[in-house]
Chains A and B, each alone.
Chain A
Amino acid sequence: MRKRIPNIAGAILLLFLLAFPLIYGRPDYDYIMHIMITGFFYAILAASWSMLTGYAGQFSFGHMGFMAIGAYTTGLLCHYIYLSPEPTGICWERGFFDQYLIVVNPIGVTSTTLTQDCLRQAMEVWDGTVKVTKMPVLLGIILGTLMGALAGFLVGMLVLRLRAAYLALFTLGFSEILKAAISAEIEITRGQAGLELPPLYPEGVTLFGHYFGPTAKLPPYYTMLALLLLCLGILAWLARSKFGLFVRALREDQDAAAALGVNITRYKVLVFTITCSMAAAAGAVQGHYVQIITPNMLFLLQMSLVVAMAVIGGLENFVAAAIGAIFLQVMLELLRNSFVIGGIEVDMTIWRLVFFGILLMVTLRFFRNGLIAPLISHFRRSGIAEETIAKRKIDAGGAGS
């Protein structure tokens, strides 16, 4: 019975998360929802990273890079690509079925609103007579995910021969180059000013007869939660299948695995592709949710947050990593308020990060499997010893008779 406790607890947690936006009614509703959505976002990153690092042993520091690829792919597509029934005559355009595919010219960062791109100029001339179609958000997110998968595939191919420290440095380098390029190509990406994205549901959605506007928090909450559950589901399915066995073999001893006939190339590339596409999907959805993305998403601090969340949750258990991420994200937000001890004001804006770092180190040193994963396995494993003994007795008895 005790073995069931993690499952029951998980079910209760899941029910709670599903019902939370409906039962929570305080005035700070939107803010709390925002924290939760961001928590789910980090949970996807931490879970997929723990699959890549904890299960497959591929120590990557470039996870935020793939996340940014997803976000920027959909961001740039939504920003630059339109469909119009009439040619503008000033943009780059091609016939596309019976419409025109229009690629808007980049105008970069300008401080006056007077400078406009070619499509806006054309639309001013049309004066509302022509209906221009925007890139559908869902298509952008799918393309972003695919682009993340492609990047993961390529990086996976490139790092086949790299292990441990070398892999960590390579992926760090990848992420830094990406960051520098996004910051420098201001004309296209708008650099530090941030690229603006349409909201997740530009027209709003109607659920059970209740209309939610584009800025309402409930639809993105369930979207991000669904994405998290989908990712966890895929990861769980993978971990139980042959795939999980092989990638763990990859982690324990690559050469031995290869000698035993595991196609290490295939599994290494596959695990990179899958986990990176998850990061990209999370990035794309989050980008549409916050509606602005900047190269600072690739700031090393962001990656350290994901790493710390996964480690504190439990590096080798992606469910624990996800729970750890949600928990820590909520704590980090709520601990922002400063307090006073003995007349000295402790500015929690900074100190919370110090405590976070200390927690990371203590967890690493004394709770090697994280803080949440051991709880799960404690209940899972309890009784295993007795069961095994009982089994053996039966087996021995059976053999004797």
Chain B
Amino acid sequence: MNINLFGRSLLVSASILALSGGIAQAADCPIKIGGMAPLSAPGTVVGGEAMRDAMLIAEEDINAAGGVLGCDIDVVIGDTEGLPEKGTALMEKFITQDGVAAVGGGYHSSVGVAAKDVADARGVPVVFAETWNDTITGDKQKYVFRIAPLSSWASSTIWKHALEIPDVEKVVILTENTDYGIPAAEETTKGLESGGREVVTFSVDIGTQDYAGIVQRIKAENPDMIIVLATGEAGYNFQQQASDAGIGSQDIIFHAGQVSLESKAYWENVPDGLYAFVQRIGVPENLFTDEGKAFAAKYKERTGKAAVESYAMEAYDSIAIIAQAINEAGSTDGDAMVSALEAIEHNGTLGKIYFPYGSGKDPSEDGRGDEWWHQWPDVALTVIQYQEEGENSGEATIVWPDAYKTGDAIYVNQ
């Protein structure tokens, strides 16, 4: 009897399994959207928390405006821990446990590269917010979109700006030994060498705290400019220790790491950080779109921060654009959403977001590489310079490119 029962349940469950081969669609309200962000170590928690806040604001805004398809949306935040294997597990959880219609957010490139395959295999669209590695769109996957800049393209901002600075002959690059840092360093080196500059690269482990030895070594190279390609607190630690050794931003031309955009933490951690150059994504705050201004106000009020980080804006847009795609597709079906995303024109906080290349038009038709597939091509990349102590990154002088320039750069080597 017992065996019989067990056998029957086995049969029943096997048939359930066979039937439920596909994934249950989130047909009911609320419509769920996944939000990936690194919220614990070894991930970059600072970035993750900013993105989480932005994505939750996006949820509020969309629901306040009536939601999508008559439903509220529910942004499910998940922690990637900055680990690729956790990223794939999280993507699986989003799709199978939470039943999300699409996924936004994403910070670490390695996590994005690993997680995108899971989403693509299951037919759930992903709009990546801050994963720069070219491979993400370069694999030309149907369900993968990105609004962050390409790594190769972002690097070109840095080296093109560097080539315009007078009297820079030798450049030292300090990079983290990750898949963000190493390719970025290679591309920057290539660009600088094409302009006849000499380049030396030092790579460091992300957890390094004491840079005294490396700083001395860099000092001995006698560079005219230092470029930091490190995320997280590594950027702060290195810059302040370089300042202490006399090769900081007040002594030579210094391009600081991305994390320096967070002005409050920047000035606390790098008190001698005056005249540093930082790459910034998006236009200056006074040129923000209406959406951008509204978001900036809300974000500052909610977090108490003085400025909006670009990755927060990207995270907000990644959720908002998914919501619009669901509306335009009229359903949460993956294929319908991809069609909607490929044709979308979204007025986001960063500007008008659209994806010119995809199944309709291959990037090669315009002579562009595969990495432009499902890639927003109009991200505004600028270089700012902190010219006053305690300055807010949103108000700092934009020195490059000329289209957005708000002031002249101060070159400490002159």
Instruction: Report if A291-B88 is in contact (Cβ < 8 Å); known contacts: A27-B23, A183-B205, A350-B40.
Output: yes
What is the predominant secondary structure among interface residues of chain B facing chain A? helix
The digit string for A346-366, where 1 denotes a CB below 8 A from any CB of B, is: 000110000000000000000
Question: Shortest Cβ distance from B275 into chain A, in angstroms?
Answer: 30
In the docked arrangement, what's the CA distance between A324 and B109, Å? 34
Decide yes or no: A349 and B16 within 8 Å by CB, A27-B23, A111-B187 being known contacts.
no
Binds A, one of B28-36, B57-65, B132-140, B352-360: B132-140
Residues from chain A with a CB closer than 8 A to the CB of B121 are 215
Shortest B133–chain A CB gap in Å is: 5
A112, A196, A301: the one contacting B138 at CB < 8 Å is: A112
The CA-CA distance from A358 to B269 in the complex, in Å, is 32
Segment from A42-50, A95-103, A184-192, A252-260 that makes contact with B? A184-192
* Interface residue stretch chosen among B177-185, B244-252, B378-386: B177-185
Bound Cα distance from A194 to B118, whole angstroms = 16
**B371 close to chain A: CB less than 8 A:** yes
In the bound complex, what is the Cα–Cα distance between A294 and B206 (angstroms)?
Answer: 14
CB < 8 Å neighbour of A292 from B85, B182, B203: B85
Q: Does B97 contact A (CB under 8 A)?
A: yes
Which residues of A lie under 8 Å from residue B300 when comparing CB positions? none
Selected contact of A28 from candidates B89, B97, B203, CB within 8 Å: B97
Contact A111 B177, CB 8 Å, known A192-B110, A193-B110, A194-B84: no
Interface residues of A in 15-67 (CB under 8 A from B): 19, 22-25, 27-32, 34, 38
Chain B nearest Cβ from A64, distance in angstroms: 14
Is A311 in contact with chain B by the CB < 8 A criterion?
A: no
- A113 touching B179 by the CB < 8 A rule? no
Interface members, chain A 279-324 (any B CB < 8 Å)? 290-294, 296-297, 299, 301
* CB-CB contacts below 8 Å: B94-140 with A: 95-99, 109-110, 113-114, 118, 121, 132-135, 138-139
* Contact-residue size bin, chain B (C-beta under 8 Å from the other chain): 35 or more
Using Cβ atoms and an 8 Å threshold, which residues of chain A touch B93?
A: 28, 31, 34
CB pair A113 B139 closer than 8 Å: yes
Asked if B88 and A294 make an inter-chain contact with CB atoms under 8 angstroms apart, the answer reads no
- Flag if B10 contacts A23 (CB, 8 Å): yes
Does residue B412 face the partner (Cβ distance < 8 Å to A)?
Answer: no
Q: Are B40 and A27 in contact (CB under 8 A)?
A: no
Q: A113-B135, A193-B178 are in contact. Are A294 and B92 (CB under 8 A)?
A: no
> Cβ of A27 and Cβ of B99 under 8 Å apart?
yes
Asked whether B322 is an interface residue with its Cβ less than 8 Å from the other chain, the reply is: no
Is B54 close to A, CB under 8 A?
Answer: no
Say how far A69's CB is from chain B's closest CB, in angstroms: 17
A1 interface contact, C-beta 8 A: no
Q: How many whole Å from B291's CB to the nearest CB in chain A?
A: 28
Kindly state whether residue B39 has any CB partner on chain A within 8 Å: yes
Distance between A221 CB and nearest chain B CB, rounded to angstroms = 12
- Residues in A whose Cβ lies below 8 Å from that of B39: 349
Instruction: Assess A296 versus B369: contact at CB under 8 Å? Given A111-B152, A349-B79.
Output: no
Contact residue among A19, A27, A109, A299 (Cβ-Cβ distance under 8 Å from B42):
A299
Beta-carbon contacts under 8 Å, B314-360 to A: none
Q: Does B83 contact A (CB under 8 A)?
A: yes
Whether the pair B369, A114 counts as a contact (CB closer than 8 A) is yes
Q: Mind listing 17 A-B residue pairs with CB under 8 Å?
A: A22-B10, A23-B10, A27-B20, A27-B99, A31-B89, A32-B97, A34-B92, A110-B186, A111-B183, A113-B134, A192-B178, A194-B85, A196-B114, A210-B14, A210-B18, A215-B118, A290-B88
Known contacts A186-B177, A192-B179; 20 additional CB pairs below 8 A are A19-B6, A23-B9, A28-B98, A31-B89, A109-B183, A111-B132, A111-B133, A111-B151, A113-B135, A183-B177, A191-B178, A193-B109, A193-B179, A194-B114, A210-B14, A290-B85, A290-B88, A291-B114, A294-B84, A296-B83
Among all A-B residue pairs, the 4 with the closest Cβ atoms: A111-B183, A193-B179, A28-B97, A25-B16
Q: Which residues of A contact B (CB under 8 A)?
A: 19, 22-25, 27-32, 34, 38, 108-114, 180, 183-184, 186, 190-194, 196, 210, 215, 290-294, 296-297, 299, 301, 336, 349-350
